[in-house]
Amino acid sequence: MSVATEVRVPDIGDFVDVPIIEVHVKPGDRVNEDDPLLTLESDKATMDVPSPLAGVVREVPVKVGDQVSEGSLILQVEPGDGAVTQPPSLLEQQEQQPVERQQPVEQQEPLGQDVPGRQRTAAVTGPAADFAQTHAGPSVRRLAREFDLDLTAITGTGPKGRITKDDVLSFLKGPASTPAAAPTQGSGIPEIPVQDFSTFGSIEVKPLVRIKKLSGPHLHRSWLNIPHVTHHDDADITELDRYRKELDTAAKPDGYRVTLLSFLIKAVVSGLKRFPEVNSSLNTERDSLIFKQYYNIGIAVDTPDGLVVPVVRDADRKGITEISRELGEVSARAREGKLTGPDLQGGSFTISSLGGIGGTAFTPIVNAPEVAILGVVRAKTAPVWDGEQFVPRLILPLSLSYDHRVIDGALAARFTRHLVDLLSDVRRILL
């Protein structure tokens, strides 16, 4: 028998003495890496503590109601094989009977359609809700959004009336004697019908990586709740790129690179200061704006497992060199999977750059609760008329997606044009 590994509470920010509201494992259970071990709930947030390794749970010295802080011992895991089988998917848990292999596609049942034995009285009318006042953990909220359920209609059996996954699944199954309900009207966006793709040829099923499992619902929620509009413009960065290359050449011996992204961050900060609505968020009642007096810029970083968005804090107080060094460090940690919770929190505006790949323009999804996001693709050399002749200039396409409830078209155009003016004259960025 190998030596058990102590599992302690990871970095949870400034929270201390946070109560445990759920313990998901017991001695003898097998767990996979990243499986939730327990759930903590502070006065500001609910968070799951994942397992850092796969193996067998040997000791759980904590219980519901105990208070823990960063570094507190929560259990011991003997390293080894994780759970032998993966739990059934949400679809498998809810299927009343298997789909016939030869069943015509048009007769297959959509996921959102009512079937005998399933309650649908809790269907949400409209976009998925946040259930901010509901006593439930993140995984339960995610499950409710996936099945368009109103958590306020479900009775919780956990501590202090907390709604558990079992409560949601029991609600979905409903009493066996419940007759088929009439199709719910106005229950939001209909689900995509189920298809058995194996009837058309060989297939391979691979689970989504953890990052995509976490980011998918967030992106879906943002797209459904925010009226997106995208404004496009072009910046002439010919002179800026010449200066950038000079700085980059000087930086290489010191072990870092100077990329265009550093200049974009400085230009964005200038734009946020001039147009503070772009650095705001709607309050929960959607009747006022929260203006942020800080400039924390999120940067979408491509990793082997998907996109993550680490945050460059206080970008208004940092120069090109300091930002360039920080970008290099945070990008490396992102690709190695070593980012912590605080690295990903507190952003007020996001830049999504596809410059290393290509493209001509795109519509990035606003990173709610932010109200705008800047998309950048690869710069290209194009002929530009200077009044006498066409001359080659390096042109950078910019795409600003914004929340039309907060930002109108005129403001979006002015903000983007401000970025264009700054990027076209590097001296103005450095002021």
pLDDT in tens, 238-266: 999 999 999 999 999 999 999 999 999 99
**CB of 52 closer than 8 Å to CB of 105:** no
- Between CA 366 and CA 407 the distance in angstroms is 12
What integer pLDDT is reported at residue 210 of this predicted model? Answer: 74
Position 189 scores a pLDDT of 74
Lookup: tokens for 49: 């503590």
Catalytic annotation on 231?
no
How many CB atoms lie under 10 A from the CB of residue 150?
Answer: 15
pLDDT in tens, 358-389: 899 999 999 999 999 999 999 999 999 999 99
Catalytic residue among 135, 228, 232, 404: 404
Torsion of CA 12, 16, 19, 24, to 10 degrees: 30
Phi, psi of 43 (to 5 degrees): -75, -5
Average pLDDT over residues 112-137: 47
Q: How far is CA 280 from CA 253, 342, 343, in A?
A: 40, 20, 20
What's residue 175's pLDDT? 55
pLDDT tens digits for range 220-235: 899 999 999 999 999 9
Q: What angle do CA 340, 341, 345 make, to 5 degrees?
A: 125
- Which pLDDT score, from 0 to 100, does residue 365 have? 96
Q: Which helix (H) or strand (E) holds 240?
A: helix 238-251
Residue 267 has what pLDDT? 97
Q: What percent of the chain has pLDDT over 70?
A: 81
pLDDT digit string, tens, across residues 402-426: 999 999 999 999 999 999 999 999 8
pLDDT band at 113 (very low <50, low <70, confident <90, very high): very low
319 neighbors 307 (Cβ within 8 angstroms)? no
pLDDT of residue 114 exceeding 80 = no
Q: Which token pair is 367?
A: 């990173």
Q: What is the mean pLDDT of the chain?
A: 82
DSSP letters spanning 312-361: ETTGGG--HHHHHHHHHHHHHHHHTT---GGGGS--SEEEEE-TTT--S-
The arithmetic mean of pLDDT across residues 85-108, rounded, is 39
- Using a 10 angstrom Cβ sphere, with 0-12 exposed, 13-18 middle and 19 or more buried, the burial of residue 27 is exposed
Q: Is the pLDDT of residue 22 over 50?
A: yes
User: CA 313 to CA 311: how far, in whole Å?
Assistant: 6
pLDDT band at 431 (very low <50, low <70, confident <90, very high): low
pLDDT digits (tens, 9 = 90+) for 37-96: 988 876 656 778 888 988 899 999 999 889 999 899 999 998 887 665 444 443 334 333
Q: What percentage of the chain exceeds 90 in pLDDT?
A: 44
Of 135-149, 234-248, 285-299, the one with minimum mean pLDDT is: 135-149
Please determine, for residue 306, whether its predicted confidence score (pLDDT) is greater than 70: yes
Spatial CA neighbour of 48 closest among 23, 66, 70: 23
In sequence order, the 6+-apart residues with CB closer than 8 A to the CB of 65 are 19, 20, 159
pLDDT at 411: 97
Give the 3-state secondary structure of residue 398.
strand
Asked if residue 54 lies in contact with residue 68, where contact means CB atoms within 8 angstroms, the answer is: no
Of 98-112, 138-152, 332-346, give the lowest mean pLDDT range.
98-112
Distances (CA, A) of 259 to 6, 192, 264: 42, 42, 9
pLDDT at 422: 96
Peptide bond into 369 cis (omega under 30): yes
- Residue 156: predicted pLDDT: 80
Q: What is the pTM of this model?
A: 0.59
Compute the distance between CA of residue 212 and CA of residue 31 in angstroms, rounded to an integer. 21
